Amino acid sequence: MPGPTVFARIRHTIGRALRETGQALDRFGVRGDTHAKSTKTLGDEPYKFNDHLSRHRNKMPLLKRGTPVVHDNVAYIAPCSSLIGTVHVGEGSSVWYGAVLRADRCNMGCGRTSEELEDWRRMGKEERLESDSDEFNSAGGGGIFIGNGTNIQDGCVITSNEDHTEIGNNVTVGHCAQIHSATVGNNALIGMGAVLNPGSKVESLGFVAAGAVVGKDQIVKSGELWIGNPAFKLRDLTDKEKQHLQYQAEEVSLVM
């Protein structure tokens, strides 16, 4: 893919300058307010400034790696979560406290059109590795694409260093789970602390139990329950369990 456009570079530089200037003015104002209200005089014990400012930005656009895109009707994006690079979050989905979604190994810079994005997304892994290579050999990864009504719970880590990470609709990703360049189908459930390694796939209505580690390129088929490290199929889900998976993510979203 070609590099970022001139307009994208200018917009990115001006945006960063404005953010840094705004933060500096905020800190200056906080210090001035504290000085004005203080009753301390020269020689008294020093006091702490009541600085409420948080420098954390949960949406982090990268000039060469893309910008997060969050649907206008998203359920919730926690202020202390991190969406880095080419991360797309669909309608009604949520990203909870401390979750990190990191797609900064691709070459989908700021300023791309939606058509360019879709063409790039449809590329095969080998084709993308070739087209995205750079002088630092740091590109070639994919993006993170999350569907509708999905919830990414507290402390999750999702990356796309080797290929796209695709998470479907109405998926629940449990606390502190990790998904790395993997695919998760609709209405699946990834248990707390589970790990999906690159190339693995969980089909729709698949269930990966808490703490399970799905190996590279393994496939959890629809309606299966996998457990253990390394993960293995324990049994097929019952019809009642499948029905529960279908509204699991919706119930969590309704909490908001």
3-state secondary structure of 65: coil
Nearest alpha-carbon partner for 13 in 110, 136, 86, 106: 110
- How many angstroms separate the CA atoms of 141 and 125, rounded? 8
pLDDT of residue 116: 78
- Tens digit of pLDDT per residue, the chain (256 long)? 556 677 777 877 887 788 778 777 877 777 777 777 777 776 677 666 555 556 667 888 887 788 899 999 999 999 889 999 999 999 999 999 999 999 988 877 656 677 877 888 888 777 777 776 665 566 678 899 999 999 999 999 999 998 999 999 999 999 999 999 999 999 999 999 999 999 999 999 999 999 999 999 999 999 999 999 999 999 999 888 888 877 766 666 555 5
Q: Is the peptide bond before 230 cis (omega within 30 degrees of 0)?
A: yes
User: Is 57-254 assigned to CATH 2.160.10.10?
Assistant: yes
Nearest alpha-carbon partner for 87 in 100, 73, 69, 114: 69
Tens digit of each residue's pLDDT (9 = 90 or more) over 227-249: 999 999 999 998 888 888 777 66
Nearest alpha-carbon partner for 103 in 121, 90, 119, 124: 121
pLDDT of residue 128: 77
pLDDT of residue 171: 95
pLDDT of residue 57: 76
Nearest alpha-carbon partner for 220 in 247, 238, 197, 243: 197
In what side-by-side order are the strands of the sheet with 232-236?
76-77, 94-95, 151-152, 172-173, 189-190, 207-208, 224-227, 232-236
Q: Which position has the token pair 């393994």? A: 218
Domain spans of the chain? 1-50, 57-254
